[in-house]
Amino acid sequence: MDSFFPEIDLPQQFLTKIRKYGKQKTFKPKEIIIHQGEWFNDLYFIEEGFVKYTLFSIEGGVQTICYLGKGFFLGEYAYTSGGDNSTVTLEAATTLKLLLFNQNDKTNLYRIADFKRFLLRNMALMTRLVKTQIESLSLYTSEQRIAKTIEDSKKHFTYFGKKEAGKYYLTKKEIADLSGCSLETVNRYAKIHSQKE
């Protein structure tokens, strides 16, 4: 099972080149970058922090899909096609530093060696993330999926009421969403494992 909190290390030379065209933007935790259904045609690149992908259902339900960290592009499909409505809400999960590229930057970005390759790789990694989530639901027990979600999150997040300086809190609902389990299952897991500590 791959990480539910992926990050990518891209070559410094590539990062230096794309920074020439990107506008730096900073978001505080819980700030919305793009709302689900909002039309956009910009491309974002995560330099630092994590973005939370959230899906709101027509019945009012909320589902955390994943978290993405440094090295990921956001909005690559809308950017390459000239614009689209967002299928998810993108929210800063941590303090977030992004590069923003508008449609006017596209020609210059496409001239950068490896830009298209990294953009395609990003799309492939997003597909892999979805595949990983599907596989985890069919190949692992609820307890294994919860444990994996917690293990993956430890570098940047805390959970189950534990507070640590410099880390962001992951709710039981978010752990349930990411691991494909019910909130009740996560509560049982938390109770059992807090008694073991």
Whole-number pLDDT of residue 1: 43
- Considering only CA atoms, give the Rg of the chain: 18
Per-domain residue ranges for the chain? 12-135, 140-196
| CB burial of residue 6 (10 Å; 0-12, 13-18, 19+) | buried
- What CATH code is assigned to 12-135? 2.60.120.10
Whole-number pLDDT of residue 185: 93
Per-residue pLDDT of the chain (197 residues; tens, 9 = 90+): 467 788 889 999 999 999 999 999 999 999 999 999 999 999 999 999 999 988 887 777 788 888 999 999 999 988 988 889 998 899 999 999 999 999 999 999 999 989 999 999 998 888 888 787 777 777 888 899 899 888 888 888 888 777 777 778 888 988 988 888 899 999 999 888 877 65
Whole-number pLDDT of residue 196: 66
For residues 22 and 81, give the distance between their C-alpha atoms in angstroms, rounded to a whole number: 19
Complete DSSP assignment for 121-186: HHHHHHHHHHHHHHHHHHHS-HHHHHHHHHHHHTTTEE-TT---TT-EE--HHHHHHHHT--HHHH
Whole-number pLDDT of residue 2: 67
Whole-number pLDDT of residue 197: 57
Whole-number pLDDT of residue 6: 86
